[in-house]
Structure 1
Amino acid sequence: MVLVNDEDSGSTVTADAHILPALHISYTDGLALLAYIKSTPTPSGFITKARTVVGMTPAPIMADFSSQGPNILNRQILKPDVTAPGVSIIAAWSGQAAPSDRPWDPRRVAFNAISGTSMSTPHVAGIAGLVRTVHPDWSPAAIKSAIMTTATDLDMEKRPILDPFLEKATPFAYGSGHVFPARALDPGLVYDASTADYLGFLCTLGYNATAMELFNGVPYQCPASPVAVQDLNYPTFTIPALAEPRTVRRRVTNVGPAQQTTYTAAVVEPVGVQVTVTPPTLAFGAVGEEKEFHVTFAEKVPVVPRPEGAGGYAFGALVWSDGTGNHQVRSPLLVQRPRIV
């Protein structure tokens, strides 16, 4: 059997436990196969013994089943956070179920190839555990920041990560990028956040005192002037509906290894958006020291056309660099440009 993707599935092929001898090919390859079948009255083909192929390109590439942004609950927080391996991952399999997960399938295996977010999640959990082992005093937010700011938006050939249709993907597909475990152990700076930060965030979302106590364990009184959602100390910057200049604030903490170090901001501006970082440099005198900075987003003059697709969002990045090349603390910038009437 030849399983051919439909157009919506693009180039994503997975290793399923088929009952029949089978192969799975992409939509583009399926068109080529169909063209061959139509070209001759006696088409023929055969399936060879399976073998492992390494170095396939492009890789990584987004899967067609990968959940996409934007965040429908809160547009000022980018989701997803990162992307991780999740296609045809070899994993342990229970002997209580067939590899096809069908009750009538008598086959039993010790390992199976599985695809989905359920396979990406253990990769990220493992990275978080690794970071926690090396840095046992870090908060969950610091660990999350380390994973996000060291992720990459480039594939193995240093080209932009592609979507299932071999077009350039956006942060709405991969978040901050594809996880990079070795870098996450030494991020240089982290965007840390405390319980108080998140309680303030929940207050801004409108949670009442009863709900807040469920989260906090003890009564919590929301401040009279809650912190703006956009100022949650998150390692990404998302600005929906930019109608006028908007300034957001963030804090970063020096996690070393250098006690004294200076980071300089570099910005890849979203198309049509002027981005100003204040201050443009951060000088740290000790590990654990925290610095605050502000990022202002404004439409460029003269106004350039609004991006097509992606809901009018334009994409860029803010990178804090220590000048040694060892630490590149990267955050995606997403700005929704206003529609020009």
Structure 2
Amino acid sequence: FGLDSSYEAAVIEMGMSHQGEISRMSMSCQPDVAAITNIGISHIENLGTQENILKAKLEILDGAAYDAPLILCRDDKLLAGVQLHSDRKVYYYSVSKKDCDVYASGVKTVDNSITFTINYEGGKIAAQINCLGEHNVKNALAAFCVGLALDIPPEDIVKGIAQFKPEGLRQNVTVIDGVTYIVDCYNAAPDSMKASLSVLSQAQAEGKRICVLGDMLELGKNSKTYHRNVGEYVAASKADLLYCFGEDSKCYIEGAEKKGFAKENCRHFESRDDLAAALKEVVAKGDAVLFKGSRGMKLEEVFNALTK
């Protein structure tokens, strides 16, 4: 990682697709603080159930000291029920539950940022994130808990949170020729799809809101059902057009139409080139466009073709 003695701390993401993988990484990293943000269904094809995903993520404690704090999101039903057989300090955070160690209140969207108050045992403090989506408020609360666990002054924590900006292919919001693009092509699962659709709904747009969705991969035998469910999310969002690419993405349209999304506002494409060509005909100044799909769908190529 290029880490040497000049660094005081490192934030390490421990991803996995099978049991045992996070355990090995935790034993290598020996974390001083551990955080789990949610239990979704990514890689459920390999792990079978969400309960097994929870077990795999709790492997983060395998290399941690017995007194290393654990940070959990209480808004996640599986994390809310975690029982630890130790005296380890657990920090719970939430966007709504006031009986947590840290919770948010007064959440407001202002332009392309969100302001809110962080409530904690020592008091409350104003905070701002320069991105959209309730999930990013949760991420900020998780970061705040990490800061508390490391005895960082709350004033310094919120200053750091305010400096965050999405980069690369993770919900990167950029404005080109008056069009707001949300490029979120690093990964995809139902929970992250729902989160990205909330960002599209909150984004400033004088014109249309267009969601461009690719397949969610590695979801196993219930993949089509999960895709239909996401289509229902689309219908419940502020999206005006639904453009899809990938075999299972046809199920997005089925789910959206089931919930009343206009059939004429849905299109499926067999190639990225055809999708890009169609978008060039409809995207106009003032629109907001979301690109969301699994890494293997390479929707960033469609974005690049549209904006070059």
Structure 1-normalised TM-score? 0.25
Q: Which structure's residues are more often helix, by fraction?
A: 2
Whichever of the two has the greater Rg, that structure is 1
